[in-house]
Structure 1
Amino acid sequence: MRYFLTAMMLAIPAAAIGGVPAADGFARFAPEIEAFSRQQAAGRAADDDALFVGSSSIRLWNVARSFPDIDAVNRGFGGATTPDVLHYYPQVIAGCQPESVIVYVGENDIAAGRSPDLVAADVLTLLGKIRTDFPHARIAYLSMKHSPLREDLWARMAAVNAMVKARAMTGKSFDFLDVSKSLLTNDGLPDKQFYTVDGLHMNALGYARWTAIVDAYLDAAHSPVTGKLASS
């Protein structure tokens, strides 16, 4: 079986997004984005099975090792908010024709002080754009994770997750994968064994949990896009 997965962000005008960083704030990502462009120019991504895009939770994921049955490209960039990825959308997805899309973004938006309503709106716009650009792709949004460092922000992240999940259940546009539950203790708290010393980023054990969920999702990818919750 060949799998195609992509985590991407959509492009909408920066002025239309609340809480967007100042224009010069995007410049800090220039080296990583230039690397993406060089990769695309070399023809590396065009025929790849998998493209992962998002924030540092994607960037730090060794997708080649986690999904050895597919050719995977990682285009996550650390610290990225949804507006950041939207800003660089053309460079991020250039040359890609994915059959499945995996999205992880929004956590840094909440940490930057944006409201759950605004973050959910951006995420849903993102997912709608992906559906338009890739009408035959399977699309899945990975829920924001409940990490030790951002415990005080979890209620707001959970609100975004709930809004995105509710939309996923209403149509055939995308799926929602709850990856946060896999990182919790039996008491429903963040399990530190899955995180690095910073309490924010996952270690190999944490990524193994995510890999199992995404791999199971891909195993079910033979059927048409259902829009139903793939993991709850």
Structure 2
Amino acid sequence: MSALEIVLVSLLGALIIFVAIYLFVVHTNAINRLEIFEEVNKNAKPGKIVFLGDSLTDFFPIQDFFPGVKIYNRGIAGDTTKDILKRIDNVVALQPRKLFLQIGTNDLAKASSPRKIINNVKKIVSTFKKEVLNIEIICLSLYPVSHTKKFLSPLIVGLRTNKKIQKTNELLVELCAAEGLKYLDFYTLLKDKKGRLDRHYTVEGLHISGKGYAVIAKALQSHL
């Protein structure tokens, strides 16, 4: 085996280990978050605001940006639309007056089509409309991504492309119009001149930096 082959095999092995550890951490975090939610729900007051989604919600320090407003963050890193449907009863139990929903980027990472994503979002919306009286549902667009970080971006961004994200957002706009929901466009707010997630707003091309969340929080303020 040549030196180059040894290096390539070593890199492949390291990548496999990295992916395995990442999946383990995501799975463990999801279980832990669900257990926390179950405990918090025991003393939670109905009629509050809930943010529901994946890591983009999970990592958003919403309550810190809005200390005067009671907000329940129900984001779990790694979640897809299917995962939300599986745990939706836990969120319905909060009986929120307002729900901010953003989900779908991890579906794209798993090669799901924009149409399938929106079909599942419709199921999520229908469940809340049925189970929570007079709820206001606000759908957040998916954020753009960027592949500018040469090493991290391919690993983290994966199969997500801005073309698929834009298509998903277009279908989400149609769904919101049909269901009478408010749609907030953060894709346009966070993109750079080339249509990518602005480097000032991201950690590695997918997740949002502190500066990015500050921009998002400012745009959300009038909708709380």
TM-score (norm 2): 0.77
TM-aligned CA deviation for residue 170 of structure 1: 3.5
Please give the residue correspondences for 1:23-172 in structure 2 after superposition, counting only pairs within 5 Å.
28=28, 29-41=30-42, 43=43, 45-47=44-46, 49-94=48-93, 96-148=94-146, 149=153, 150=157, 153-172=161-180
Q: Which has the higher contact order (CA 8 A, sep 6+)?
A: 1
| RMSD of aligned residue pairs (Cα, Å) | 2.0
Please tell me whether the aligned partners of residues 53 and 74 of structure 1 are also in contact (alpha carbons under 8 angstroms): yes
Runs of 4+ in 1 over 3 A off after TM superposition: 149-152
- Sequence identity of aligned pairs in percent? 23
Q: Which runs of 5+ in 1 are unaligned?
A: 1-25, 219-232
TM-aligned CA deviation for residue 207 of structure 1: 0.7
Looking at structure 2, the residues matched to 184 and 156 of structure 1 have their Cα atoms a distance apart, in angstroms, of 15
Kindly tell me: are residues 48 and 73 of structure 1, through their superposed partners in 2, closer, same or farther at Cα, counting changes over 3 Å? farther
Task: From the CA coordinates, give the structure whose radius of gyration is larger.
Answer: 2
Q: Which residue of 2 aligns with 1:210?
A: 216
> Secondary structure of the equivalent of 1:90?
helix
- Work out whether 1:181 is the aligned partner of 2:188: yes
Looking at structure 2, the residues matched to 118 and 184 of structure 1 have their Cα atoms a distance apart, in angstroms, of 25
Amino acid in the other structure paired with 1:38: E
User: After superposition, what is the alpha-carbon deviation per residue over 1:143-190, rounded to whole angstroms, capped at 9, x for unaligned?
Assistant: 011011448522112111111101222352x11111111111234332
Looking at structure 2, the residues matched to 98 and 92 of structure 1 have their Cα atoms a distance apart, in angstroms, of 8
TM-score (norm 1): 0.74
Looking at structure 2, the residues matched to 56 and 27 of structure 1 have their Cα atoms a distance apart, in angstroms, of 12
Kindly tell me: are residues 53 and 116 of structure 1, through their superposed partners in 2, closer, same or farther at Cα, counting changes over 3 Å? same
